[in-house]
Amino acid sequence: MRSFLLLPFTLALTEAAQKPIGNDWILPRGVNPSLTDKYRPDTSNQFTCISAPHQKIHSNLVNDDFCDCPDGSDEPGTSACSHLNHSLNPLPGFYCANKGHIPAYIPFSRINDGICDYDVCCDGSDEWMGIGGVKCPDNCESIGREARKASEEARILYESGLKNYKSLVARAALLRKEAEDKVATLTGEISRTEIEVEKKRAELKEAEEEEKLKVSTDGSGEGKHAGLLKFARERIDEYKETLSTLQTQKETLEFQLESAEKILKTFKEEYNPNFNDEGVKRAVKAWEDYLAMKPVADENENDFKADVQTLTTEEINWDEWEPEPIPFVEDMYAIESLLPPFLRSWVHAQLNSLRDTLVENGLLAHRKPTTSTSTQGSTHTSPRIQKLTDDLSRSEGDLTTRKSQLDTLNSDLTKDYGTNSVFWALKDICTEAESGEYTYSYCHMGRASQKNRDGGSTHLGDWTGFEKRLDEEIEEEVLVVKFERGARCWNGPERSAYVYLRCGPEEKLLSVAETEKCVYKYVAVSPAVCAGEGGEEVKTEKVEEWGSS
C-alpha cells in the first residue's frame, strides 16, 4: 500500500492546479475531453477504472504518479502506468490538446522525459513537470501554421496528381480501346489474308500443273519428236567422239610413216652399191618402187583436217530443234476457263486422263517440273509461275506480319497494367536521377538501369509486375514496381530493382539505395498511384528535390 506522503512535492503542487477547487472540477491532465464522463468523480468522489468497473479509487489518486487501476486508466497524465502492456490501457496515450494545431496522443513513456516532443505535442504539455529545468513553451501557433501550409501544398500536389491520374486512366482506356479495335481489324484482315493465301496457293498449284502438261522441251521426253531428237543427239555425240579418236590415230601413223621413210631415204643415199649385197640391192629396189607408186601429196589434206576439226568441236544448237507445244493440248485446257465452275473439275479430270493416254502412246511427253534445268545446269521458271510465286510470298509475308502484330496486341491486352490499366498510359516513360557514382533509371513496363560516369550501363532488371510492400520510411503500404532478372552480380544474385511509388503530380525518381548487394530500392513519385485500389484517394508525397532532406 502506498503512502500519500511519498507523493513528490512538485507533482502535488502541479496537480493541485488540475484538481477541483471547491466544487469546480476540472478534467485531469492528459485526458481527451471526449472522455470527460469517465473521469468525472461520482457522488462518493470516486473514479472507476475504465476497463475494470469493479475497481474504484478516490479521485485524488488520479494522476498521483502511481498505477492503481489494472488498465492504467487512473494515470492519464503521468508515465506511472507506461510499463503496462499497451493493449490493456484503454487510453492510446497522453492527450496533447495542441490548441491551434491538431490534438494528438503521445506514448506515456515520453511524458516528463525532459524532451520537448513538438512533433506530437506542439503545446509542450507532455513536459508539464519541467524535469531538469526543461521548458517547452506552446509552439502550436507557428507549428500549426507551417503544418497548414504544408498540408495545403500537399493538397494542391495531390489534386494535381489526382487530375493527372485521371488523365492517365483516360489515356489508358483509349489505348486499350485502340488495341481492341486493332485486334478486331487485324483478326478480320488475317482471315481475309488466309483465304487470299489459300487462293493464291491453289492458283499457283494449278498453274504449275498446267505448265507440267506442256510438251517436254528438254529432249528427255518420250514423244516421237523428242525421241528422235534424243537419238540424233546421242548418235552425233558418239560420231564426234569416234572421229576425234580416228584423227588422233591417223596423226600418229603419219608420224611413224614419215620416220620410216626418213630412215629408208637415208639408207638409199648412204648404201655402197659396190658391195654386191643382194639383200641390200632388193631393199633399195623395193624402196624405189614404193616411191614410184606413192600418190602425190593430197592438196585437200588441210581442208580435210579443218573439216574434222569443225565436226568434232562444233556445238549444235539443239534448242532450235525442240518440239513446239502441241497447240490442241493447250487449247483444250484453255476451254476449261470458259466452262461453268461445276463442270471445270470434271473436264479437267477428263483432260488429265486423255493426256495420260497420249503420254502412254508416245504422243506427248511425261510431265516435267515447271522449273526446268537446262543442259548447262541453269534453272528457268516461267514468268507466269514467278509472278504467282511472288504474289503468294507477298501475301504469306503480310499474313505473318499481321499475326505477329496480333500476338503483341493480345499480350498487351492480357498484361497487368495496374488498377484501371493506368500504367498502360506510362508504358516506356522513363525517369532517371543521379545517386552517388551512378545515374539510375527505370522505364515503365521496360527496364531499370545503372549507368556509371564512363557511360557504361548495367542492366538492373526487366519489368515483371507489381506488388504491395511496406514503405518503412513513411510507414505505409505502397505499390512497388518490380524489375527483375538483371545482370548477374559478381559472386552474387541477378540484379533486381524495386520502385516504391508514392503519389505525386509527375513522374520523379527521388532516391535510390542498394539495400543489399545488387538489390536496389528506388523511391519515386507518380500520379499513377494517386488513387488506391478501386480508385480511393491516397496521401500525396511532397516532392522534394533530390538530395534535400
Q: List residues near ligand MAN by CB under 6 A.
A: 450, 458, 489-490, 514, 517-518
Provide, rounded to whole angstroms, the least separation between the CB of residue 514 and ligand MAN. Answer: 5
Provide, rounded to whole angstroms, the least separation between the CB of residue 480 and ligand MAN. Answer: 19
Q: Which is nearer to ligand MAN, 373 or 452 (CB)?
A: 452
Answer for the pair 450, 442: CB distance below 8 angstroms, yes or no.
no
Answer for the pair 170, 421: CB distance below 8 angstroms, yes or no.
no
Amino acid at residue number 333: Y
Question: Three-state DSSP class for 332?
Answer: helix
Cα–Cα distances in Å, from 484 out to 184, 439, 441, 541?
Answer: 33, 18, 14, 26
How far is it, in rounded angstroms, from Cα 197 to Cα 283?
93
Answer for the pair 447, 459: CB distance below 8 angstroms, yes or no.
yes
Q: Which is nearer to ligand MAN, 59 or 450 (CB)?
A: 450
Provide, rounded to whole angstroms, the least separation between the CB of residue 187 and ligand MAN. Answer: 45
Provide, rounded to whole angstroms, the least separation between the CB of residue 494 and ligand MAN. Answer: 12
Q: Which is nearer to ligand MAN, 104 or 460 (CB)?
A: 460
Q: Which is nearer to ligand MAN, 333 or 438 (CB)?
A: 438
Provide, rounded to whole angstroms, the least separation between the CB of residue 450 and ligand MAN. Answer: 5
Provide, rounded to whole angstroms, the least separation between the CB of residue 492 and ligand MAN. Answer: 7
Q: Which is nearer to ligand MAN, 275 or 490 (CB)?
A: 490
Provide, rounded to whole angstroms, the least separation between the CB of residue 474 and ligand MAN. Answer: 25
Give me the helices (H) in 214-223, please. Answer: none
Q: Which is nearer to ligand MAN, 380 or 517 (CB)?
A: 517
Rg (CA), the chain: 56
Q: Which is nearer to ligand MAN, 255 or 490 (CB)?
A: 490
For ligand MAN, the nearest residue by Cβ is 490
Identify the H or E element spanning 516.
strand 508-516
Residue 167's φ and ψ, nearest 5 degrees, are: -65, -40
Reading the block at residue 480, the C-alpha cell is 512497388
Provide, rounded to whole angstroms, the least separation between the CB of residue 457 and ligand MAN. Answer: 10
Reading the block at residue 460, the C-alpha cell is 538492373
How far is it, in rounded angstroms, from Cα 321 to Cα 326?
15
Provide, rounded to whole angstroms, the least separation between the CB of residue 452 and ligand MAN. Answer: 8
Q: Which is nearer to ligand MAN, 518 or 530 (CB)?
A: 518
Q: Which is nearer to ligand MAN, 509 or 531 (CB)?
A: 509
Q: Which is nearer to ligand MAN, 479 or 518 (CB)?
A: 518
Identify the H or E element spanning 164.
helix 140-213
Q: CB-based burial of residue 287 (10 Å sphere; 0-12 exposed, 13-18 middle, 19+ buried)?
A: middle
Provide, rounded to whole angstroms, the least separation between the CB of residue 440 and ligand MAN. Answer: 10
Q: Which is nearer to ligand MAN, 391 or 514 (CB)?
A: 514
Residue 419's φ and ψ, nearest 5 degrees, are: -55, 135
Provide, rounded to whole angstroms, the least separation between the CB of residue 451 and ligand MAN. Answer: 10
Reading the block at residue 30, the C-alpha cell is 492528459
Provide, rounded to whole angstroms, the least separation between the CB of residue 381 and ligand MAN. Answer: 58
Task: Please list the residues that pair with 478 across neighbouring strands.
Answer: 469
Task: Please list the residues that pair with 467 across neighbouring strands.
Answer: 480
CA 47-53-59 angle, to 5 degrees, is: 10
Q: Which is nearer to ligand MAN, 135 or 453 (CB)?
A: 453
CA 135-138-143 angle, to 5 degrees, is: 125
How far is it, in rounded angstroms, from Cα 44 to Cα 166?
62
Reading the block at residue 136, the C-alpha cell is 517547452
Provide, rounded to whole angstroms, the least separation between the CB of residue 432 and ligand MAN. Answer: 16
Provide, rounded to whole angstroms, the least separation between the CB of residue 75 and ligand MAN. Answer: 52
Q: Which is nearer to ligand MAN, 342 or 490 (CB)?
A: 490
Q: Which is nearer to ligand MAN, 118 or 438 (CB)?
A: 438
Residue 159: Cβ within 10 Å count: 14
Amino acid at residue number 172: A
How far is it, in rounded angstroms, from Cα 27 to Cα 40?
7
Amino acid at residue number 46: Q
Measured in whole angstroms, how far is the alpha carbon of residue 501 from the centre of its chain? 24
How far is it, in rounded angstroms, from Cα 364 to Cα 549?
96
* Burial state string for 102-121 with b = 16 or more CB within 10 A and e = fewer than 16: ebbebbbebbbbeebbbebb
Amino acid at residue number 515: T
Side-chain half-sphere exposure of 22, counting CA atoms within 13 A: 1
Q: Nearest-CA neighbor of 356 among 213, 206, 225, 217?
A: 213
Residue 536: Cβ within 10 Å count: 7
